[in-house]
Amino acid sequence: ANGRVDLGHGSGGRAMADLVSGIFREAFANPFLDQGNDQAAFPTPRGGRMVMTTDGYVVSPLFFPGGDIGSLAVHGTVNDIAMSGARPLHLSASYIVEEGFPLADLKRIADSMGRAARAAGVTIVTGDTKVVERGKADGLFISTAGIGELPDGLDLSGDRAEPGDVVVLSGSIGDHGVAIMSSRENLEFETAILSDSAALNGLVEAMVAAAGPHLKLMRDPTRGGLAATLNELAHQSGVGFRIEEAAIPVKPEVAAACELLGLDPLNVANEGKLVAVVSPAGADALLAAMRAHPLGAEAAAIGTVVADDQQFVQMTTGFGGGRIVDWLSGEQLPRIC
Amino acid sequence: ANGRVDLGHGSGGRAMADLVSGIFREAFANPFLDQGNDQAAFPTPRGGRMVMTTDGYVVSPLFFPGGDIGSLAVHGTVNDIAMSGARPLHLSASYIVEEGFPLADLKRIADSMGRAARAAGVTIVTGDTKVVERGKADGLFISTAGIGELPDGLDLSGDRAEPGDVVVLSGSIGDHGVAIMSSRENLEFETAILSDSAALNGLVEAMVAAAGPHLKLMRDPTRGGLAATLNELAHQSGVGFRIEEAAIPVKPEVAAACELLGLDPLNVANEGKLVAVVSPAGADALLAAMRAHPLGAEAAAIGTVVADDQQFVQMTTGFGGGRIVDWLSGEQLPRIC
Ligand SMILES: Nc1ncnc2c1ncn2[C@@H]1O[C@H](COP(=O)(O)OP(=O)(O)OP(=O)(O)O)[C@@H](O)[C@H]1O
Ligand SMILES: Nc1ncnc2c1ncn2[C@@H]1O[C@H](COP(=O)(O)OP(=O)(O)OP(=O)(O)O)[C@@H](O)[C@H]1O
Ligand SMILES: [Mg+2]
Ligand SMILES: [Mg+2]
Ligand SMILES: [Mg+2]
Ligand SMILES: [Mg+2]
Ligand SMILES: [Mg+2]
Ligand SMILES: [Mg+2]
């Protein structure tokens, strides 16, 4: 990339992973960051453990079908906390605003953020507001950080997938990214495509209760989509995945939009879905609990973990064929979140 | 402001305070945010209390005499934690990068951030990287959040200043803002002006140990400078301040640069200074402890808290004259931090 940051570095793919490990992990050098999960777990002074996470939001447009940058910022941070099994507690909000931004939009976004936080049971306890000159930002960027309380005895981590484990997906993929792209390209479909942006902490609570120690890890397939998430997990656990295309829920309208936009739903970001890896003994109970929750109604077992030195994600396609699902295939989708 | 955000909304003055209370406090509605301090304190599940804080950094230029955006982001967040008396523990780092940004600069900034964190005794446990298209940001913005552990029995808060209390300043004012402005305007002085950017948690530890319950509150006079901080505190505590111009340390080269730039040092941001309010019985011990620490060597009592329904900050000037120090006087200084 010629010694410069390019859009691929922000796409959730291999270029980003290399940037994080080559620059940030080395510079910040500590075992918490090296856990390599979407959140860091650490012991708290009085006993017990907490987690911390952060995300920047640069989504364009700021308002999109199914949400806005404010609700998205809450959902994304709540979800990265929840993927560890922790109970989300408090969030921070850093606003970077471009000069000239309409105060009415700022209020609408802050109100939406507050509503999303209340609905998810978290409080935004601290914030910051910076203004940069016209042309030096793009309306509004929000960075949230969040902390949560980790129950004793839970040890979910991306390095825990083992051959034989079952891979579960909570619902249809591609909704968020396609909603953003469609609204950006001004596409209209018969069935409106809404972002799936949602707080998953309630679903996670039900999953932990149902599967107990059988649950090995959870991750939300955001930037880079399901493909990036499975490749990340394969890498982190030193395993391969074998998934069934037919088992992966994709809404017909999302499939149609992907066709039109030249996207593969496997690479498209989600903001209200999760992937879980569970030992076979816990899979049925987990799926039942997920399906009983509104945000997991279409939960499906989509494949298994396999031994694979090359850490490939292999997918069985329609007529018994197969292909390798790489995390760099498909278009780069900047500003999706 | 015509229904739009302007640079004044980010200046640390009254416009920003109105924006925060009119939009954000109302939207996020919770007692933690309503504390109105630079950090929020909350009880932790296992007992004890923690604090959380966040800041966005949009400083321009990214590298300046005495620091860079990376070290500044660590110092600023460590200091907002420390102002509560809490021990800073962990930080998060959200990077928003403009396409085309040099990887070598990114590495230099991350390395500086890591060094600053290690020096301050905190770990950067989690991060995020987003890339926006060329022209949609200005090189790099960083948002950090941080958490700290609050010792039992400490209750420092901006609403605790009472008439008779002594106001202490840890050292000279204006260094950071003038260093940025000088480097932005390409000014050269005989004595180079360096930012005072520094982590104050060590100094704070010594202050808490020395003054105990006599210490009422601390705050770092960042955006808006000493003038904004005292006005904020006056408002929060419902008191006035009477300060002595002659007692406020200003480096001669900073005074000269302010003259040239048309700035009042009272309105210029600092990033390694603090204001403390202490009851008279604890003032001497506090000052002695501060002066024994390298970052408090020039600590001075600069005035007292007075009863004042109008919550004015009054300053006695050179020849027995006086004036009201408002938080909106002086120029707006965008992108100072
Ligand atoms: N966008 C926001 N949302 C919620 N609260 C905010 C927001 N911006 C500022 N605040 C709150 O306003 C108060 C003052 O924040 P401010 O940023 O001025 O403090 P600071 O971080 O100490 O100063 P600086 O940012 O100059 O370092 C804090 O209580 C902060 O939580
Ligand atoms: N600038 C950074 N500094 C330090 N660590 C980083 C940085 N960017 C990313 N990371 C780390 O890389 C890992 C992956 O981060 P990533 O942002 O991809 O996860 P995510 O937040 O779950 O995904 P998304 O941002 O798409 O929601 C995490 O461990 C994160 O802490
Ligand atoms: Mg995330
Ligand atoms: Mg995630
Ligand atoms: Mg701030
Ligand atoms: Mg601050
Ligand atoms: Mg502060
Ligand atoms: Mg992230």
Give the tokens for residue B37: 């301090």
Determine the pLDDT at residue A192. 87
- The verdict on a CB contact (< 8 Å) between A3 and B104 is yes
Mean pLDDT rounded to a whole number for chain A: 96
CA distance A302 to A180: 26
Determine the pLDDT at residue B331. 54
Nearest CA to ligand 2 atom 18: A12
Q: Which residue of B has its CA nearest to A6?
A: B99
Q: Which residues line ligand 2 (CB under 6 A)?
A: A 12, 20, 24, 28, 33, 36-38, 55, 76, 80, 222-223; B 93, 95, 126-129
Q: Does A98 lie at the interface with B, CB-CB under 8 angstroms?
A: yes
Nearest CA to ligand 1 atom 9: A128
Indicate if the alpha-carbon torsion angle A161, A163, A165, A171 is positive or negative: positive
Nearest CA to ligand 1 atom 10: A127
Q: Which residues line ligand 1 (CB under 6 A)?
A: A 93, 95, 126-129; B 12, 20, 24, 28, 33, 36-38, 55, 76, 80, 222-223
If pLDDT is split at 50, 70 and 90, which confidence band does B330 have? Answer: very low
Choose from A129, A149, A222 for mutation: most chain B CBs within 10 A: A129
Percentage with pLDDT > 90 across chain B: 91
Determine the pLDDT at residue B1. 54
- Rounded to the nearest angstrom, the minimum Cα separation between B111 and chain A is 5
Among the partner-chain residues B46, B126, B131, the one whose CB lies closest to the CB of A48 is B46
If pLDDT is split at 50, 70 and 90, which confidence band does B289 have? Answer: very high
- B240 pairs with which residues across the strands? B306
- The verdict on a CB contact (< 8 Å) between B33 and A131 is no
Q: B262-295 burial string, b = 16+ CB within 10 Å, else e?
A: ebbbbbbbbbbbbbbbbbeebbebbbebbeebeb
Mean pLDDT in order along chain A per 10 residues (337 residues) = 88 91 97 97 94 98 98 99 98 98 98 98 98 98 98 97 99 97 86 95 98 98 96 97 98 95 94 98 98 98 98 92 82 83
Which domains occur in chain A, in start order?
35-150 (3.30.1330.10), 166-324 (3.90.650.10)
Determine the pLDDT at residue A330. 47
Q: Does A28 lie at the interface with B, CB-CB under 8 angstroms?
A: yes
Residues of B in contact with A100 (CB under 8 A): 4-6
DSSP per-residue letters across B76-123? HHHHHHHTTTPEEEEEEEEEEEETT-BHHHHHHHHHHHHHHHHHHT-E
Q: Is residue B54 scored above 50 in pLDDT?
A: yes
- Higher confidence at residue B333 or residue B133? B133
- Return the DSSP state at A245: G
CA distance B245 to A18: 53
- Rounded to the nearest angstrom, the minimum Cα separation between A8 and chain B is 8
Determine the pLDDT at residue A72. 99
Q: Does B18 lie at the interface with A, CB-CB under 8 angstroms?
A: no
Residue type, B309: D
Q: Is residue B227 scored above 60 in pLDDT?
A: yes
CA distance B156 to B36: 12
Determine the pLDDT at residue A331. 54
DSSP per-residue letters across B235-280? HHHT-EEEEEGGGS---HHHHHHHHHHT--GGGS--SS--EEEE-H
CA distance B22 to B123: 34
Give the residue-averaged pLDDT of B86-97: 98
Q: Is residue B206 scored above 60 in pLDDT?
A: yes
Determine the pLDDT at residue A2. 81
Give the tokens for residue A36: 């390599």
CA distance B169 to B276: 6
Mean pLDDT rounded to a whole number for chain B: 96
